[in-house]
Amino acid sequence: MPNQVDMTVNLAGMVMKNPVCVASGTYGFGREYGQFYDLSEIGGICAKGLTLHRREGNPAPRIAETPMGILNSVGLQNPGVDAFIEHELPYLRQFDVKVIANISGNTPEEYGIMCEKLAEAGVDMIEVNISCPNVKAGGLAYGTRPELAAEVTREAKAHAGPVPVMVKLSPNVTDITDIAKAVADAGADALSLINTLRGMRIDVNTNRPVLKMNTGGLSGPAVLPVAVRMVWEVAQAVNLPILGMGGVSKGEDAAQLMLAGATAVAVGTAMFADPFAPIAVRDGLADIAQRKGLTAVAQLTGAVQPW
């Protein structure tokens, strides 16, 4: 019997053919994965994180395996926003897939400039990464203080025009709902969470950290329970659509995030082991929705029944 479940979802006005995106920083700009399958198969592509100017990133070693995941300190290596608009966006526009640009800045003004450029270029959504150093605040990450997160959100919204702004939240905080409320009040159209958890591994033979930058971001299956918990908390705290991510490698993982309150989900680290993971997650979600007797996958969102 063919699957009759309606797979479309609406993320802050951006209608996707299915709820599966790929997470920023794990998919490049799609060219490599496009050798495996038609990029139109997935709902959305969160492109590799962009900065105003080209960045070379951090010195190697900057990625390492760890039980149930990986640590990375790539350092936002990217060609810069102008190069993305000129060379990468036209490639992505060949496919029937929503294009989400991810941006990081050192100042609120940088976020504003990038939002203006990307809105004019016609991306479908802008994902604002606030989990990066803030030069003006002495190296503190925007994502750890509500007032700073709100400042960046307001600046992004002021320059994004009709393009929806989705703010990516850091899990490295005492209470993620404080940040969620602050950016919601500042006008965010959607939220994405979680970003990586800060972690560290040490080589006991050399006594040195396995990463040149000492610490890095932990992602992969190990973080899924944290992601589910935080999506659930944020969904209770604010009335905004959520792109849930963190440890998704199969349909059941994605279903957990949607039941917790996510409208859509993103697959990341799993693709390093299996490039076809987003397709498997999409099909797994469809099977789960059909098994539950749902007519639309969107009916999973927020359907958790706490004890």
Residues that are catalytic: 132
**Which runs of consecutive H residues, i.e. helices, occur in the chain?**
81-83, 89-92, 108-121, 146-159, 176-185, 224-237, 251-260, 270-273, 277-291
3-state secondary structure at position 214: coil
Rounded CA-CA distance 267/236 in Å is 23
Token digits of residue 27: 């998919």
Q: Is residue 236 a contact partner of residue 229, using CB atoms and an 8 Å limit?
A: no
Token digits of residue 201: 């591994």
Query: Crossing angle, helix 277-291 and helix 251-260, to 10 degrees?
Result: 60
Residue from 242, 254, 240 nearest 289 by CA: 254
Residue from 79, 61, 80 nearest 71 by CA: 61
Rounded CA-CA distance 299/270 in Å is 25
Backbone angles phi, psi at 100, to 5 degrees: -110, 120
* C-alpha distances out from residue 87 to 23, 25, 75, 113, Å: 20, 17, 21, 19
Residue 128 CB contacts under 8 Å (≥ 6 apart), including other chains? 103, 111, 115, 152, 153, 156, 165, 166, 167, 168
